[in-house]
């Protein structure tokens, strides 16, 4: 049996959606989920959950509370874990510590599905300084976790390199499995939503969470400088994040449901991604896999880095990378509608040459199958 552990298994939560979709793709016969909340009814799995969501305006206080509630859930269901394969995500952080201590008693296989590398994300988010003693303590605990699980799955090569270099994790323990498996919605089932798409303009969107590791202000500053009525920028994100600092015309005050999300993705001309410098060493925007699979040109905002996404976009010529040095150049370019339309056409042509993108989803599923067989 495979047991998945994640903070929330709900429609709005990225990790939760990936878990539910992965269960379907792998066609696992016997599955259980330990979660702080879920809203999906499926005969394939049994959910062991605290069904009330933990609410707090303070993001990091909420994570601390989630850790203690998750520890309670794990201890409550300890008999369920014995001799099983457990896949835990990195959210909430550090619950792997409890599982490793229990592992000696319950004898289970432990796979860490690493969507972000904690506590380094606190440094990128400017929550802690790298010389802070609390950071050293958290890193010591997480080094213990990374080095004592049976296997680690990361979603990018840059994160794998960080685990090897900074945490001294054995490279043989790490498998890179990109999150390609989410795309399961048939195009014919996508509901049309007239409020999302502007048929008469060039649609440029961002879809997803905004957290302290993103640099949305750099992207917004760029957008404000563009004077072109033919462009339609829209950011769909977590409603609690939007405040008076930002133009409400630019922001949509809620996440898109699955159907609207895919329509938005399919009908867009560009998809935006933004990241703080050095962030890709510790976290990777999973949304990029959906964007690439549906062959949508990308605008990537990062002030300074020549990182994994920058290199990928430059290599295959399927998107724009905007930084401090070239920002003015692209402000001028986006003011010219003809040049933008030509660029979109060029990127779409380049996408057609990338046959390997069609195969990526099946590769990810095959890797998961092999990994789960390996630890059984």
Would you state the CATH architecture of domain 187-357?
A: 3-Layer(aba) Sandwich (3.40)
For the cut 70, the answer to whether the pLDDT of residue 196 exceeds it is: no
The predicted model gives 269-290 an average pLDDT of 90
Per 3-state DSSP, the chain is made up of helix, strand and coil in percentages (nearest 5) of: 45, 15, 40
Distance between CA atoms of residues 122 and 60, nearest Å: 10
Range with the lowest mean pLDDT among 8-17, 159-168, 348-357?
8-17
Residue 188's pLDDT is: 44
Let me know if the fold of 2-176 is the same as that of 187-357.
yes
Residue 269's pLDDT is: 93
For the cut 70, the answer to whether the pLDDT of residue 195 exceeds it is: no
> What are 105-123's pLDDT values in tens digits?
888 999 999 999 999 998 8
The predicted model gives 175-200 an average pLDDT of 63
Reported in sequence order, the residue ranges of the chain that DSSP labels E, i.e. its strands, are 2-6, 31-35, 45-49, 85-89, 109-114, 151-154, 174-176, 202-207, 231-236, 251-252, 270-274, 298-301, 319-322
Q: How confident is the model at residue 41 (pLDDT cuts 50, 70, 90)?
A: low
CA 363 to chain centre: 18
Look at residues 15, 36, 3, 186 and name the one whose alpha carbon lies nearest to residue 109.
3
* CATH domain 2-176 topology: Rossmann fold (3.40.50)
For the cut 50, the answer to whether the pLDDT of residue 190 exceeds it is: no
Distance between CA atoms of residues 18 and 62, nearest Å: 22
Percent of the chain with pLDDT over 90: 41
Range with the lowest mean pLDDT among 105-109, 224-228, 256-260, 276-280?
256-260
The predicted model gives 346-359 an average pLDDT of 88
Q: What are phi and psi of 310, to 5 degrees?
A: -55, -50
> What are 45-99's pLDDT values in tens digits?
778 777 666 666 666 677 788 888 889 989 998 988 988 999 999 888 899 999 9
- Chain mean pLDDT for the chain: 84
Q: How confident is the model at residue 130 (pLDDT cuts 50, 70, 90)?
A: confident
Residue 191's pLDDT is: 45
CA 208 to chain centre: 9
Of 257 and 295, which is predicted with more confidence?
295
Of 241 and 273, which is predicted with more confidence?
273
Range with the lowest mean pLDDT among 151-160, 191-200, 305-314?
191-200
Write down the domain spans for the chain.
2-176, 187-357
The predicted model gives 256-277 an average pLDDT of 80
For the cut 60, the answer to whether the pLDDT of residue 186 exceeds it is: no
Residue 30's pLDDT is: 83
Residue 11's pLDDT is: 59
For the cut 60, the answer to whether the pLDDT of residue 338 exceeds it is: yes
Q: Is the peptide bond before 119 cis (omega within 30 degrees of 0)?
A: yes
């Amino acid at each position: 049996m495979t047991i998945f552990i994640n903070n929330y298994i709900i429609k709005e939560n990225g990790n939760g959606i990936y878990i539910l979709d992965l269960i379907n793709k792998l066609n696992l016969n016997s599955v259980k989920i330990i979660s702080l909340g879920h809203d999906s009814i499926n005969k394939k799995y049994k959910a062991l959950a605290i069904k009330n969501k933990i609410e707090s305006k303070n993001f990091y206080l909420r994570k601390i509370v989630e850790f203690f509630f998750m520890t309670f859930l794990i201890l409550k269901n300890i008999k369920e874990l014995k001799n099983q394969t457990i896949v835990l995500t990195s959210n909430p952080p550090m619950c792997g510590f409890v599982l490793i201590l229990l592992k000696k008693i319950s004898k289970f296989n432990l796979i860490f599905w690493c969507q972000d590398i904690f506590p380094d994300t606190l440094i990128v988010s400017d929550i802690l300084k790298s010389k802070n003693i609390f950071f050293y303590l958290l890193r010591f605990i997480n080094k213990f976790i990374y080095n004592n699980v049976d296997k680690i799955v990361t979603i990018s090569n840059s994160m794998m390199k960080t685990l090897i270099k900074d945490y001294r994790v054995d490279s043989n323990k790490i498998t890179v499995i990109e999150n390609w498996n989410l795309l399961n919605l048939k195009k014919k089932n996508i509901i049309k939503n007239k409020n999302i798409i502007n048929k008469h303009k060039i649609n440029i969107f961002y879809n997803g969470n905004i957290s302290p590791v993103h640099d949305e202000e750099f992207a917004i500053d760029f957008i404000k400088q563009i004077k072109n009525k033919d462009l339609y920028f829209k950011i769909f994100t977590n409603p609690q994040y939007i405040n008076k600092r930002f133009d409400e015309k630019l922001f949509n005050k809620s996440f898109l449901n699955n159907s609207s999300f895919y329509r938005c993705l399919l009908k867009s001309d560009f998809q935006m991604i933004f990241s703080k410098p050095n962030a890709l060493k510790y976290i990777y925007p999973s949304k990029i896999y959906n964007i690439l699979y549906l062959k949508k040109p990308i605008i990537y905002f990062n002030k300074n880095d020549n990182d994994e996404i920058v290199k990928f976009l430059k290599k295959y010529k399927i998107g724009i990378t905007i930084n401090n040095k070239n920002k003015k150049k692209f402000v001028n370019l986006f003011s010219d509608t003809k040049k933008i339309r030509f660029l979109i056409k060029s990127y779409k042509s380049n996408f057609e040459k990338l046959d390997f993108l069609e195969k990526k989803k099946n590769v990810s599923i095959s890797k998961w199958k092999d990994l789960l067989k390996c630890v059984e």
